[in-house]
């Protein structure tokens, strides 16, 4: 018979979650109000959101996730290429969404990564994450 473990004040559940899908958001400006509104909307479709401002921390987090996990990665356009080239081939990375102010500037290098979707404004593209 299976039993449930109920977290208490001594249990660290920051990265222990039951969902197979999680959202990793990488952006140096992660706490801007407009981004926080988008994050709240995303929580309606996915509960586990992990935010990073440091590229190495984000890369290490993704690399150390289980191969059974599925990560949806959202990255700022100006920081995207370095992180994407390091994690794109990992099985746990399911999809990568780049939001940027200048799509044309990123189109050329993005084409070599099949998991990448490029969006001018992420808030206008939330419905694409739900598909």
Q: Based on the structure, what is the number of domains in the chain?
A: 1
Domain that holds residue 38: 21-130
Strands (E), the chain: 21-26, 49-52, 70-76, 93-99, 116-119
Q: Is residue 75 included in any domain, yes or no? A: yes
Q: Is residue 35 included in any domain, yes or no? A: yes
Say which residues have a Cβ less than 8 Å from residue 131's Cβ, sequence separation at least 6: none
Output the pLDDT for position 45: 80
Q: Is residue 115 included in any domain, yes or no? A: yes
Output the pLDDT for position 71: 93
- What confidence tens digit (pLDDT) does each residue in 15-66 have? 555 567 889 999 877 666 666 777 777 777 888 889 898 999 999 999 999 9
- 13: how many CB neighbours lie within 10 A of its CB? 9
> What's 97's domain CATH number?
3.40.50.2300
Burial class (CB in 10 A: 0-12, 13-18, 19+), 126: middle
Residue where the block lists tokens 């794109």: 88
Output the pLDDT for position 58: 95
Output the pLDDT for position 30: 66
- The pTM (predicted TM-score) of the whole model is 0.72
């Amino acid at each position: 018979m299976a039993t449930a473990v109920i977290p208490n004040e001594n249990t660290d559940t920051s990265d222990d979650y039951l969902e197979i899908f999680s959202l990793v958001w990488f952006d140096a400006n992660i706490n801007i109000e407009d981004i926080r509104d988008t994050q709240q909307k995303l929580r309606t479709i996915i509960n586990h959101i992990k935010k990073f401002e440091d590229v190495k921390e984000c890369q290490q987090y993704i690399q150390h996730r289980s191969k059974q996990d599925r990560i949806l990665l959202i990255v700022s356009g100006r920081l995207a290429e370095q992180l994407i080239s390091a994690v794109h081939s990992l099985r746990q990375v399911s999809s990568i969404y780049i939001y940027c102010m200048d799509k044309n500037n990123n189109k050329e290098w993005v084409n070599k990564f099949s998991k990448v979707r490029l969006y001018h404004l992420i808030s206008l593209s939330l419905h694409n994450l739900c598909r």
